Amino acid sequence: MGVFYWVVKAIIGPFLRLIFRPWAEGTENVPRSGPAILASNHLSFSDHFFAPLPLPRKVVFLAKAEYFTGRGIKGLLSKLFFSGIGQIPVDRTGGAASERALRSGLRVLAAGELLGIYPEGTRTPDGRLYRGKTGVARLALEARAPVIPTAMVGGFEFQPPGKLTPRLRVRPGVRFGKPLDFSRYYGLEQDRIVLRAMTDEIMYELMKLSGQEYVDEYAQRAKGRLTSALRREALQSPHEEELLGETVPAAHDADED
């Protein structure tokens, strides 16, 4: 599977650079060996491609389970592709599923690899940065790995929620911040106050790097509110069919990454 990752990168990489002209800053902040966590904001589906593109190392992302469970030819191709490039399916229903996701991430780090994770847990619904979940902090403490704040820039405008076709006038970019060392907290993996403090520090660095407005609320909750508002608007609108057929599912689909 590792070979497939590099084959895909060798084929897709030049195409992405030529057509979309992505830019990157701070690649020297990513360790050339050993385990590390790339903690990234999540602007669009394209983040999966543009975050690891400028790095000479393989990045394993925790990816939503829906990429691996689709039906038909499309579902099979999606499963083969994401499995082939080493992505790990994650059930985001919480509880025991969250614990399994954590263990999967720890195995990646124990193997000395780079792990990509989106602390917000889903894509931003409006381009703002939302409250991070503390799983990234537990991973950092249990694996004793540094955290690299990884700020995606321009991705929301490049590929807005629900849009398949990117906007070529927007150049997506990524900024890698300096590694965050949390060794002062080693041994406190079960301390919720410590986990929250660490996560907030990571999100603060992402805010500085990305220039996003920060919202002290989970993105999933904000999306639920947005979806409800759109449905109410659709029911009151003379263009109900258009709104229900396009706008509302778009908001819902963005939930799933």
**Full DSSP string of the chain:** -HHHHHHHHHHHHHHHHHHH--EEE-GGGS-SSS-EEEEE----TTHHHHTTTT-SS-EEEEEETHHHH--HHHHHHHHHHHHHTT-EEE--S-THHHHHHHHHHHHHHHTT-EEEE-TTSS--SSS-EEPPPTHHHHHHHHHT--EEEEEEESHHHHS-TT--S--TTS--EEEE-PPBP-GGGTT-TT-HHHHHHHHHHHHHHHHHHH-PPEESS-HHHHHHHHHHHHHHHHHHSTTHHHIIIIIHHHHHHHTT-
Q: What pLDDT is stored for residue 243 in this prediction?
A: 43
- Give the residue among 40, 48, 127 at the shortest CA–CA distance from 82: 48
Q: What pLDDT is stored for residue 45 in this prediction?
A: 87
Q: What pLDDT is stored for residue 252 in this prediction?
A: 36
Q: What pLDDT is stored for residue 239 in this prediction?
A: 53
Amino acid at 75: G
Per-residue pLDDT of the chain (257 residues; tens, 9 = 90+): 578 888 888 999 999 999 999 999 999 999 999 999 999 999 998 998 999 999 999 999 887 777 777 788 877 777 777 777 778 877 766 667 678 888 989 999 999 999 999 999 889 999 999 999 999 999 999 999 999 999 999 999 999 888 888 999 999 999 999 999 999 999 999 999 999 999 999 999 999 999 999 999 999 888 878 777 667 776 776 554 444 444 333 333 333 44
> What tokens appear for 186 in the block?
């080693």
CATH architecture of the domain with range 2-215 = 3-Layer(aba) Sandwich (3.40)
Q: What pLDDT is stored for residue 241 in this prediction?
A: 44
Q: What pLDDT is stored for residue 232 in this prediction?
A: 72
Q: What pLDDT is stored for residue 251 in this prediction?
A: 35
Strand order in the sheet with 114-117: 23-25, 173-176, 147-153, 36-40, 114-117, 59-64, 88-90
CA–CA dist 68, 62 (Å, integer):
12
Q: What pLDDT is stored for residue 246 in this prediction?
A: 40
Q: List the chain domain ranges.
A: 2-215, 219-254
